Amino acid sequence: MLLGRYLHLLAARGGGRLDRSAYTVLSRIRAEGPMSIGRLSDAFGLDASTLNRQTAAMLRAGTVERIPDPEGSMARRFAITPEGERRLDRDRAENVAGLARLLEAWTPADAAQLADGLSRLNRDIERLDGRPWPRD
């Protein structure tokens, strides 16, 4: 939890960063493709009103757009925009660079052990929660 909370301390201070919810939602949409509020709700275990507020802010910021459901349902889906892709890529690169600075004194074996442990922790949490994150 601390890593997620303080990751912003490792990144550039330039402002314009995505908030944590936007970063997470954009990452999921990038991984799975356009998603409806219902699918986002299932993916994150959040109620629709929370996701409506989050996606409304993302629409205003230009990081997502509403598109028709390709399967023909009345529900609209949210797709990541080029601006959303740009900002997600920028924030992710800043996060990675910040972590690299933090871990620069660690041995490669120590860094690999951390990565393996965090990966296992995430997968076990997802397994218990029943909401696995899509991965390559």
Q: What is residue 20's predicted lDDT score, i.e. its pLDDT?
A: 87
d(CA 66, CA 78) in angstroms, rounded, equals 5
Examine the pLDDT at 136 and tell me if it is beyond 60: no
Residue 130 DSSP SS3: coil
Q: Give the CA dihedral 63, 69, 71, 74, nearest 10 degrees.
A: 150
Assigned architecture for domain 2-102: Orthogonal Bundle (1.10)
Q: Highest-confidence range of 6-10, 13-17, 78-82, 125-129, by mean pLDDT?
A: 78-82
d(CA 35, CA 80) in angstroms, rounded, equals 10
Q: What is residue 96's predicted lDDT score, i.e. its pLDDT?
A: 87
Q: What is residue 54's predicted lDDT score, i.e. its pLDDT?
A: 96
pLDDT tens, position by position, 44-75: 999 999 999 999 999 999 999 999 987 777 78
The strand pairing partners of 79, in sequence order, are: 65
pLDDT tens, position by position, 76-124: 999 999 999 999 999 999 888 888 888 999 999 999 999 999 889 988 9
pLDDT tens, position by position, 17-44: 898 899 999 999 999 999 999 999 999 9
Q: What is the pTM of this model?
A: 0.84
DSSP 44-67: HT--HHHHHHHHHHHHHHTSEEEE
Question: Domain extents for the chain?
Answer: 2-102
Q: What is residue 14's predicted lDDT score, i.e. its pLDDT?
A: 62
